[in-house]
Amino acid sequence: MVLTHRRSRAISRYLPDEVINEIIQNVPRSDLLTLCQLSKLFHGLAVSALYRVIKLDTFTSIKSFCRAVLSNPRLAASVRSFTARCYQRFGLGRDTDPIALVLRAVKLFFRLEHLVIAIALFKEEHRRAFLQWSFPCLVNCSMTLTTSGATAPLLSSFLLRHPALASFSSSLSNLKFDAPLPIPLSNLRGLHAPVTLVPWIMTRDLREVKLSWGSKSLGHDVEKTILALKSMIPAETPFICSNDYCEDYFTAVVDSVSRHLPHTRTLDIRRNGPMHPGDARIAYARECLARFAYLVFLSIHTTSNHASFTMAEARTMAEHFGDVCPSLEACRFSADAAWRRVNGTWEKFPSRDFAMLAGITF
C-alpha cells in the first residue's frame, strides 16, 4: 500500500506519535526522504530518524553535512551517532578554515552518544577547542589527534567531563601522560590508549584493552602498567588484551600478562619488525603460555610487508603453542592466514576472520 498524504493523516489519528516514531526507526534509510514529504508530522519524525546515525568518509560529504547543520541548528538535536573518517587534508575551497567548520557543527550535538572523529585536526587551536567541549550523553568515543605537549592535560580534562564513557579510543602512542587527578570511569569496558594513561584510570569492569607502547626510549614500566590493568578487571573475567607497537616490549608484555592476567582470553601483539620461527622471543612466548588458564586466541602479528613465516612454519608454531596451552583454539602469525584447531587438527582459515572470532573491536 502506498502511503499518501491523506492516509498519513488517518494513521496519525489512531496511533500515538511514539508508536509511529518506533515504526519509522525501522524504515529503510532510502525511504526516509519520501516520508519527509508526506506531512509535517512525518517530516519531523523522519528527519529525526534520518539524522540519528551519520557516517561520513569524504571531505565533500563531511563539509556538506556540517553546513546543513549550521544552517539549521535544530537538526543537531537528532544526531546520536557521528562518524567522520577522512585521512587527507581538507582542500580550502570556499572555506578559509574548513576544520573549524566541522568542529562548530560537532559542538552542537548535545545529545551525542557515539563519536568517531578521525580527520586532519592539524592546528593546535582546533585540538584545544575539541578537548574542552562536553557531550553529556557520550558513551563511546574514538578520536585521532596529533601529539603535542598540551594534549595530555586537555585529554585528562575531557575524560573527567565524560564519566559515563563505556568505550574510549585514542590513536596517540608516544604521549607522556601525567594527569593532575585520577580519572573515574566506572562504566568503562573498552580502552585503546597509550600505556601512560592506564595508571590514571579508575574502573572495575574493564573487558578489553588495546595499549600503544611506542619506542623503548620512552621507558615504560610494563609491570606497573599490567598491575594497573589487573586492578580494573573483575576476577576470572575473560579479557581481551591487545598491544600495538610492541617491538621493544614484546617479551616483557607477554611475561607480565601471563603472570598477572592469566584469565586473558585473547592476547594480541603487533610488532613493527619481522620475526622468524627461531626467534628467541617466540620461544619465550611459548614458555609463558603455560601460565594462561583460559587463553583461546593468540595473535603475534607483524606490520612488516614481508611475511615472517611460511604456511608450514606457521602451522608448526600453532601446533607447538597448542601443545603448551590446551585451551588455545586459534592462532594468527601474519596477515595472510590464521590457524584454528578443529577436532584436534590445526586448519588454515582467513586472517580477517580472526579478529571477529577473537572479539577484537579496536
Digit-by-digit pLDDT tens for the chain (362 residues) are 344 444 445 555 555 656 655 555 656 665 555 655 555 556 556 666 777 889 998 888 888 899 989 998 988 988 999 999 887 665 545 555 677 888 899 999 999 999 998 876 557 777 788 888 899 999 999 988 655 555 678 888 899 999 999 999 987 655 667 767 899 999 999 999 888 889 999 999 999 999 988 777 678 899 999 999 999 999 888 999 999 888 889 999 999 999 999 999 999 998 777 777 778 888 999 999 999 999 999 999 876 655 567 888 889 999 999 999 999 999 998 877 899 999 989 999 998 899 999 999 88
Kindly state whether residues 40 and 58 are assigned to the same domain: no
- The helix/strand/coil state of 71 is helix
Residue 249: burial class (beta carbons within 10 Å; 0-12, 13-18, 19+): buried
Domain count, the chain: 3
Cα(274)–Cα(301) distance, rounded to whole angstroms?
Answer: 9
- In the chain the first and final C-alpha atoms are separated, in Å, by 44
- Give me the helices (H) in 107-235, please: 124-131, 151-160, 222-230
Kindly state whether residues 141 and 189 are assigned to the same domain: no
Kindly state whether residues 129 and 228 are assigned to the same domain: no
Residue 46's domain comprises 1-50
Half-sphere CA count of 198, side-chain side, radius 13 A: 30
Q: Which three cell numbers stand for residue 44?
A: 519531523
Q: Which three cell numbers stand for residue 267?
A: 592476547
Are 168 and 143 spatial neighbours (Cβ–Cβ below 8 Å)? no
Residue 155 within any structural domain of the chain: no
Are 109 and 82 spatial neighbours (Cβ–Cβ below 8 Å)? yes
